[in-house]
Amino acid sequence: MRLRWQWLLVSVCGAVLVAVFLFAFTGDWVDPDLPAPLASLVKVVFWPVTVLVSLSGPGSNIGPPDKHWHEGTPVQFFAVVLGIGLSWFFYSSLVFLLLWVRQRRLRTPISKSF
C-alpha cells in the first residue's frame, strides 16, 4: 500500500474515529485535578484542544465573585473532542511526513564526486 493511502487511513480516518468515539462514548474521562506539571504537559501536547477551547469562550460564570469558576458548555465539549481529533491528525501526519522524507532519502543515490 502506498504511503499516501496509509497516511489517509491512519491520520484522517483515525482522527475522525477518535473524535466520534470520544463524542459518543464519553463518561468521566477528563480529570480536572491533574498535578501542575502534568497539566502543563497536556496543554503543550494537546495544543489544538487549548486553542479551540479558548476560542469557544469562557462559559457561564458559576462561582462567587472572588473565585471565577466557569461551567463547561456543549460548545466547549465539542471543541475538546474536535481538538483531540486534530491532535491525532497533526501528530500522525508528522510521523508520516518523517517516514516519507526518510523513504525519499533512501531512494536517492548518493553521488560521489572525486
- Per residue in 74-111, pLDDT (tens digit) is 888 888 888 888 888 888 888 888 888 888 888 876 66
- pLDDT class for 35, splitting at 50, 70, 90? low
| Confidence (pLDDT) at 84 | 86
| Confidence (pLDDT) at 34 | 61
pTM higher than 0.85 for the full model? Answer: no
- Report whether pLDDT(31) > 60: no
Distance (Å, whole) CA 11 – CA 17 = 10
Distance (Å, whole) CA 48 – CA 86 = 6
Distance (Å, whole) CA 57 – CA 78 = 12
The torsion of the CA quartet 53, 56, 62, 65, rounded to 10 degrees, works out to 90
DSSP-derived secondary structure for 45-64: HTHHHHHHHHHH---EE-S-
- Report whether pLDDT(24) > 80: no
